[in-house]
């Protein structure tokens, strides 16, 4: 979830997919095509032309899985009520098993979008204000070492202008977690790890992506409601939207349901299997799993104004300039080549990279997941989003 250069390796990154996007295909349930990287892209484009007008988008996906850094891709979406799904490449490099579009996967920083939506609903219910200070809800937690929780607001946690340092770093992704993947991390450990580093900037003065922000937002949810962020996400979104493939994993190392193997990248840029690990180190910043189908449903409801009232949607979509687009509260605005915009959430965690988004209104959504994380996870993603939403 740290944004900068993936070549140095950052866990839970808004990797290159934060800047890029997803894809499109036939009506959901009518076709679930699966191709391995051994098939020739040119042949596949011809086949797609017969099956769907989205041949360009699909051909980019099939080109992507030719990369040694991209084992497989899960994709899907919705346009005006019609759903589609697609899968390309491999779910398992060892056995050459094909990817399947219904598989469950880790969604990394898209967890932040769920957490932000909980906070905004609490503000909608007048149970907190976005301009409340962290000190008000978590007295004494953000103090010392140059920090003062009286100067940091909930809004700044959600748009990453708090100046609070990130608890994740290169060593955590490349060494600490891979060497001991089942280790449990308490929330206090994560917060303390972030606050042990000096502030990045004065609150409200600049954008600096930090997982520590969302851990603190999760603690505020618990303080306000008496329930964990996981319980609130379950009650507010997973249950009412019938997101049957979505869950907050906490410390459970398993990916539920059918799923692909997940491949992490070492410092020699080699992929290795890291399908199972204790996701407690991600906490509210990135410990969820979902499916393409569920992410389409959630993002459609969010962008369609079904989860937040007009005022809270306005707050969510009020952006702060960042190197990665205009950053709102748990969501990012991106510009297309035709000048129009769409909104997206993206997340990379160990072995998984996911992007979901669409224009406001919630009628047109794309989702893309790759079962690997590393530099240039998919150089075609920006083009894929642009092709889909510029039409």
Q: Where along the chain do its domains lie?
A: 6-390
Mean pLDDT for the stretch of residues 308-324: 96
CB-CB contact of 111 with 347 (8 Å): yes
Strands (E), 203-280: 247-248, 263-265, 271-273
pLDDT score for 377: 53
Local confidence band at 32 (pLDDT 50, 70, 90 cut-offs): very low
Greatest Cα pair distance in the chain: 64
Provide the mean pLDDT of the chain. Answer: 87
What is the distance of C-alpha 220 from the center of its chain?
21
Q: Which residue has the higher pLDDT, 33 or 169?
A: 169
- Phi (first) and psi of residue 133, to 5 degrees: -85, 155
pLDDT confidence of residue 26:
21
CA distances, 259 to each of 64, 207, 266, 290 (Å): 20, 35, 22, 10
Highest mean pLDDT, choosing among 40-54, 278-292, 373-387:
278-292
If DSSP codes are grouped into helix, strand and coil, which group holds residue 332?
strand
| Half-sphere CA count of 49, side-chain side, radius 13 A | 6
Q: pLDDT at position 34, please?
A: 39
Q: How confident is the model at residue 323 (pLDDT cuts 50, 70, 90)?
A: confident
Q: What is the mean pLDDT of residues 92-106?
A: 97
Specify the long-range contacts of residues 263-266, CB closer than 8 Å, at least 24 apart: 263/71, 263/93, 263/351, 263/371, 263/372, 263/373, 264/178, 264/350, 264/351, 264/372, 264/373, 264/374, 265/9, 265/69, 265/372, 265/373, 265/374, 265/375, 266/174, 266/178
Alpha carbon 307 to chain centroid, angstroms? 18
pLDDT band at 218 (very low <50, low <70, confident <90, very high): very high
User: Per-residue pLDDT for 258 more than 80?
Assistant: yes
Digit-coded pLDDT (tens) for 153-173: 999 999 999 999 999 998 998
Reported as a pLDDT band with limits 50, 70 and 90, residue 47 is very low
pLDDT at residue 175 greater than cutoff 50: yes
Give the CATH class of 6-390: alpha beta
> Which has more confidence, 27 or 156?
156
| DSSP state at residue 255 | P
Lowest mean pLDDT among 27-36, 101-110, 304-313: 27-36
pLDDT-derived band at 375 (thresholds 50, 70, 90) equals: low
The dihedral sign for the CA sequence 246, 349, 182, 70:
positive
The pLDDT of residue 290 is above 60:
yes
User: pLDDT: is 298 or 173 the higher one?
Assistant: 298
Q: What percent of the chain has pLDDT over 90?
A: 77
Neighbours of 323 (CB within 10 A): 11
Q: CA 388, CA 197: separation in Å to the nearest integer? A: 42
Which residues lie across from 118 on neighbouring strands?
none
- Encoding tokens for residue 221? 């949810």
pTM of the model as a whole: 0.88
pLDDT of 16 higher than 70: no
Q: What is the pLDDT of residues 236-256, one digit of tens each?
A: 999 999 999 999 999 999 999
Is 131 in contact with 154 (CB distance < 8 Å)?
yes
Reported as a single tens digit per residue, the pLDDT across 138-148 is 999 999 999 99
Q: Which residue has the higher pLDDT, 95 or 24?
A: 95
Residue 115: alpha-carbon gap to chain centroid: 12
Q: How far is CA 241 from the centre of its chain?
A: 19
Asked if residue 113 has pLDDT above 90, the reply is: yes
């Amino acid at each position: 979830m740290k944004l900068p250069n993936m070549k140095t390796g950052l866990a839970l990154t808004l990797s290159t997919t934060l800047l890029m996007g997803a894809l499109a295909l036939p009506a959901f349930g009518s076709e679930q095509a699966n191709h391995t990287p051994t098939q020739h892209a040119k042949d596949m484009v011809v086949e797609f032309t017969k099956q769907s007008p989205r041949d360009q988008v699909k051909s980019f996906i099939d080109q992507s899985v030719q990369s040694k850094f991209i084992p497989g891709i899960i994709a899907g979406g919705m346009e005006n009520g019609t759903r589609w799904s697609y899968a390309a490449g491999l779910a398992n490099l060892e056995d050459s098993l094909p990817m399947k579009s219904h598989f469950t996967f880790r969604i990394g920083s898209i967890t932040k979008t769920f957490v932000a939506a909980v906070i905004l609903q609490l503000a909608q219910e007048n149970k907190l204000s976005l301009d409340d200070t962290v000190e008000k809800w978590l007295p004494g937690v953000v103090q010392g070492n140059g920090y003062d929780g009286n100067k940091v607001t909930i809004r700044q946690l959600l748009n990453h202008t708090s100046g609070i340092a990130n608890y994740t770093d290169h060593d955590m992704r490349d060494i600490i977690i891979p060497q001991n993947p089942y280790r449990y991390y308490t929330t206090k450990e994560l917060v303390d790890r972030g606050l042990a580093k000096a502030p990045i900037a004065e609150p409200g003065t600049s954008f600096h992506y930090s997982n520590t922000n969302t851990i603190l937002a999760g603690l505020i949810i618990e303080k306000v409601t008496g329930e964990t962020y996981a319980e609130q996400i379950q009650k507010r979104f997973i249950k009412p939207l019938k997101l049957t493939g979505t869950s907050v994993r906490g410390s459970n190392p398993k990916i539920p349901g059918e799923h692909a193997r997940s491949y992490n990248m070492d410092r020699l840029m080699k992929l290795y299997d890291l399908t199972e690990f204790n996701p407690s180190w991600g906490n509210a910043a990135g410990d969820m799993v979902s499916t393409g189908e569920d992410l389409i449903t959630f993002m459609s409801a969010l962008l369609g104004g079904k989860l937040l009232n007009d005022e809270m949607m306005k707050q969510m979509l009020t952006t702060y300039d960042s190197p990665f687009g205009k950053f709102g509260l748990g969501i990012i605005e991106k510009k297309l080549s035709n000048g129009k915009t769409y909104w997206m959430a993206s997340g990379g965690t160990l072995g998984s990279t996911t992007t979901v988004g669409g224009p406001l209104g919630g009628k047109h959504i794309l989702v893309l997941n790759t079962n690997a994380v590393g530099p240039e996870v998919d150089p075609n993603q920006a083009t894929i989003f642009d092709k889909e939403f510029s039409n």
